[in-house]
Amino acid sequence: MIEAHALIKRYGDRRAVDELSFIVKPGQVTGFLGPNGAGKSTTMRMIVGLDRPTAGTVTVAGRPYREHTAPLCQVGALLEATAVHRGRTARNHLLALAQTHGISSRRVDEVLGLVGLADVARRRAGGFSLGMGQRLGIAAALLGDPAVVILDEPVNGLDPDGVRWLRDLLKGLATEGRTVLVSSHLMSEMAVTAEHLVIIGRGRLLADTTVSDLIDRVGVGSVLVRSPNGADLRDLLVRHGAEVTGVEPGLFQAAGLDAATIGDLALAGGLAVHELTPRRASLEDAYLELTREAVEYR
């Protein structure tokens, strides 16, 4: 469990993190989302004690990160994939970390296998691709078999195979009862990986909810309408407040009215309808709607 309470981080006169409170629960993957500059990395650094909050508190497994005597065994974090000694082999990098916590070399080989780096374990990390670097960072995070795993943009640099592997790994870690917090800007990936979302903008909490609740709440769903009287039906719907975007003359998307209302209006207007298909908003639609105000750079 991660608990942030009224967390504030100020840089100069600017609040990068502004009164942020949230709880990340075990047993599920929680996605940590927000536009660039929203304060995600700053928050993650405060969780693992790399940055000191200006005010407020954040605890991991019940206490501040710094107060854990064997932090690697409580919290595994990947915050910066390039933070490795470039001259060391992957295995030696992990062995050096393991020795600080009395972790066995057997566990080092185990996590190398788990992240798919067993074959390149004796190659220097400096020559690794971004994707291999991410895998090494994830291996380091898992080294101490921690109950809490925090990964900042772990999908970056992974190929489609790697993306799927990571998705299964994260879900597996959550199923084992661990607390998993992952930041990402890839909404389509978060939609299939995370169950819960913490979304921030300009350092403030915008949503702390499940993926499906967010989509329902912010819901900007639309209806695909097919009609041989396309132009007339379009005009009619627009007059009733729909926002219409065209696909082709007899086929368009209408937002702002549900399928039943559209069908009733068409009937009353004597216009034929050949198809009405409600389309649920995607996580990306809901996210963009929610964060519209909070985007730092447009």
Tell me the number of residues near ligand ADP by CB under 6 A. 10
With contacts defined by CB under 6 A, name the span among 32-40, 80-88, 160-168, 209-217 that binds ligand ADP.
32-40
Work out whether 234 is an interface residue with ligand ADP (CB under 6 A). no
With contacts defined by CB under 6 A, name the span among 39-47, 54-62, 167-175, 285-293 that binds ligand ADP.
39-47
With contacts defined by CB under 6 A, name the span among 31-39, 134-142, 228-236, 254-262 that binds ligand ADP.
31-39
Do the beta carbons of residue 112 and residue 118 sit within 8 Å?
Answer: yes
With contacts defined by CB under 6 A, name the span among 19-27, 36-44, 103-111, 172-180 that binds ligand ADP.
36-44
Q: Which of 2, 18, 40, 143 binds ligand ADP (CB under 6 A)?
A: 40
Query: Of the two residues 184 and 222, which places its CB atom closer to ligand ADP in the complex?
Result: 184
Query: Of the two residues 36 and 245, which places its CB atom closer to ligand ADP in the complex?
Result: 36
Q: Which of 31, 39, 146, 154 binds ligand ADP (CB under 6 A)?
A: 39
Query: Of the two residues 43 and 222, which places its CB atom closer to ligand ADP in the complex?
Result: 43
Work out whether 201 is an interface residue with ligand ADP (CB under 6 A). no
Work out whether 31 is an interface residue with ligand ADP (CB under 6 A). no
Min dist CB 58 to ligand ADP, Å, is 14
Q: Which of 2, 7, 16, 77 binds ligand ADP (CB under 6 A)?
A: 16
Work out whether 38 is an interface residue with ligand ADP (CB under 6 A). yes
How is the chain classified by DSSP, letter by letter? Answer: -EEEEEEEEEETTEEEEEEEEEEE-TTEEEEEE-STTSSHHHHHHHHTTSS--SEEEEEETTB-GGG-SSGGGTEEEES-TT-S-TTSBHHHHHHHHHHTTT--HHHHHHHHHHTT-GGGTTSBGGG--HHHHHHHHHHHHHTT--SEEEEESTTTT--HHHHHHHHHHHHHHHHTT-EEEEE-S-HHHHHHH-SEEEEEETTEEEEEEEHHHHHHHH---EEEEE-TTHHHHHHHHHHTT-EEEEEETTEEEEESS-HHHHHHHHHHTT---SEEEEEPPPHHHHHHHHHGGG-S--
**Residues within the interface to ligand ADP (CB under 6 A):** 11, 16, 34, 36-42
